Chain A
Amino acid sequence: MRRVPLVQLAHARSGDKGDSANIGVVAYDEEIYRIIEKEVTSDRVKHHFGSWVVGPVKRYELPNLCALNFVLRGALDGGGTVSLRSDAQGKVLSAGLLRMEIDVPDSVAERTAGWGRVPDGWTPEGS
């Protein structure tokens, strides 16, 4: 087993509803989905965010899309228009979750090495 950051295994998008945020986490394939479904529990996500999220975290599964959906209550310092944070609408909570590190089999760690991060030699000209 090897410990790798979630950003190597999945991509994600987050947004707001009142003072709650949701984070949809999408595994890059089915093998990875089965791993993150086991590892990335609501308790673990709650612990990961610490004081940044004051309410409970609830998880929903969408195996049909290889995705998990986390609903984080009390995640936005009062909600989109009240929050004093730069990220008042929780748009980058998704990236924050992908900082989490989980254990995966060596074979998965090897074949996903470098995923989720800009490859060496990339330049902005091509985009």
Chain B
Amino acid sequence: MAERDVVRLGGGQGFWGDDLEAPVRLVEGGPLDYLMLDYLAEVTMSILRKLRSRDPSAGYARDFVALMERIWPACVERGIRVVANAGGVNPQGCADALEEAGQEAGVSGRTTIGLVRGDDLMPRLDELLQTGHEMAHLETGAPLSSVADRVRSANAYLGAAPVVEALRLGSDVVVTGRVADPALAAAALIHHHDWALHDHDRMAAAILAGHIVECGAQSTGGNCMAEWWSIPRLDIAGFPVVEVEPSGAFTVTKHPGSGGRVDRASVTEQIVYEIGDPHRVVTPDVVADFTTIRLSDQGRDRVRLEGIRGAPPTDFYKVSVAYAAGWMAAGTLLYSWPDALQKAQAADAQLRRRFERLGLKLDAINTELVGWNAAHGPLAGAPPADVPEVQLRVAVRSADRRSVERFSREMAPLVLTGPPSVTAYAGGRARVQEIMAYWPALIRKDVVDPHVRVEVRPV
């Protein structure tokens, strides 16, 4: 196959907070055509909306702007185009900041910014609810109107189409709000190979490639259980690169000289990550059948995936809504040998009697003895004998903010008033946080699509 027929796409951030150097290594460490960066987890939008309510120019991933200032000259020089959902709840503000960063980076006149908007349903939420769009909870079936006054963000997961459009119009750096993560990556492949959106098998291949790269090093040896101890140099992990052929078949790899490992194990763990029914992996662009994937480990950090089949997409977008659902806090203390476990259990019992006497209105209390049962609860079995130490972690939630605030004052006194040999309270009071609960729902595509806007501007 001619070299020009293969397009190379890299995934440089698996979430907001991922390795800051990874995109730099992807751009500088080997051949690349497209760089995809994912900044938005389920709850990120509500956090960004809170930031924007304090500062109208905020509400996007600032890390992305700083990163572009750093890598933009190299991207221009090498012809690497970037797709990122860094726009959060303010893609326009992100693009404005990006324009300034581009001028700072000295790429003015040599690059363009593409902007995709229309995923944000918050400004239209009342109207949508009043016109019969129930947005019922996908698990409980409850109508969104039951929490409408507490909704803090509502975004449709857009598909690849508007991102493809932005690339077609000549954008070098595409900024979006909420776009389904694999669709963001898929768009680059669809654009490059000029695939038809109704070519369901190729859409499935593009979505699979996106799914492989969207979590960064999770497909190249990070968080991989299979002989994890022998996976080399994760400190300089090569983030995933997919080399995608016109047929839709592709090879997962990483740059030469980078750390990590690409093999059957690392790629398969990522394929099954956060999926439901593998026969029907529903995305905005296609319903992909992961049971049709053929995987072959070709050695030397190369795994080839082919054969995936797809079916037509549904008429709905998934909507992610975040709504305020009370308050929570968690506090910890460290108990030492001897009888560390018993001391921690006694302290927990003491705390619970205090909560009762103070009349705290707590909806749930969860006690963990870190070192014994925090990770696996009852699966941990009987307590280990004579542990050297244990961390007591107590977490509470409540609709009543004052009860949670009072809880946050109740752990520290145990240091002088509870069982002995206790320490590590220097972290201070348990931080009281507002709970942003997640409300998954569906909305008809034809309600959202007319509001989607794509524009391109020079830097």
Interface, chain A (partner B; CB < 8 A): 11-13, 15-20, 22, 24, 26, 28, 48-52, 60-67, 69, 71, 73, 77-82, 84-87, 92, 94-96, 98-99, 116, 118-119, 122, 127
Contact = CB atoms under 8 A, between A and B. Distances in A.
Nearest to B259: A127
Given A79-B437, A81-B436, A127-B231, A17 B379 contact: no
Interface string B194-233: 0000000000000000000000001000011110010111
Contacts of B396: 84
Contact of A26 (B229, B265, B279): B265
Interface stretch (B350-358, B369-377, B420-428): B369-377
B342 interface: no
The 9 A-B pairs at the shortest CB distance, nearest first, are namely A24-B272, A84-B366, A84-B395, A11-B225, A15-B274, A13-B269, A11-B226, A96-B376, A52-B377
Nearest to B395: A84
Nearest to B379: A96
A125 to B, nearest CB: 12
Nearest to A68: B272
B378 interface: yes
A95 B274 contact: no
Given A81-B435, A99-B376, A99-B379, A17 B276 contact: yes
A75 to B, nearest CB: 11
A86 B368 contact: yes
A18 B139 contact: yes
Contacts of A12: 225, 269
B44 to A, nearest CB: 11
B393 interface: yes
Contact of A51 (B276, B378, B397): B378
A60 B278 contact: yes
Given A69-B278, A86-B375, 18 more contacts: A11-B226, A13-B270, A15-B273, A15-B274, A18-B438, A50-B378, A60-B279, A65-B295, A66-B268, A80-B42, A81-B322, A81-B435, A82-B435, A84-B330, A84-B397, A86-B374, A95-B375, A127-B234
B314 interface: no
A116 B265 CA distance: 12
Nearest to A52: B377
B411 to A, nearest CB: 14
A96 to B, nearest CB: 4
Contacts of A80: 42-43, 438
B374 A82 contact: no
Contacts of A67: 268, 271-272
A14 B120 CA distance: 29
B273 to A, nearest CB: 5
A73 B139 CA distance: 9
Contacts of A49: 379
Interface size grouping (class) on chain B? 35 or more
The B contact surface, by secondary structure, is mixed
Nearest to B396: A84
Contacts of A62: 272, 278, 290-291
Contacts of B395: 84-85
Given A86-B368, A119-B229, A18 B268 contact: no
B377 A82 contact: no
14 contacts: A11-B269, A13-B218, A15-B273, A24-B269, A52-B376, A60-B278, A71-B277, A79-B438, A80-B438, A81-B43, A81-B438, A84-B365, A99-B376, A127-B234
B416 to A, nearest CB: 26
A81 B42 contact: yes
Contacts of A87: 374-375
Given A77-B366, A80-B43, A92-B375, A18 B393 contact: no
B2 interface: no
Residue among B231, B325, B438 with the most chain A CB within 10 A? Answer: B438
Given A26-B265, A65-B293, A52 B223 contact: no
B328 interface: yes
A71 B280 CA distance: 14
Interface in B263-303: 265, 268-279, 290-295
Contacts of B393: 86
A79 B436 CA distance: 11
A26 to B, nearest CB: 5
Residue among B272, B294, B435 with the most chain A CB within 10 A? Answer: B272
B401 to A, nearest CB: 16
B233 to A, nearest CB: 8
Nearest to A15: B274
Interface in B382-414: 393, 395-397
B138 interface: yes
B143 interface: no
Contacts of A71: 276-277
A82 B265 contact: no
Contacts of A18: 138-139, 438, 440
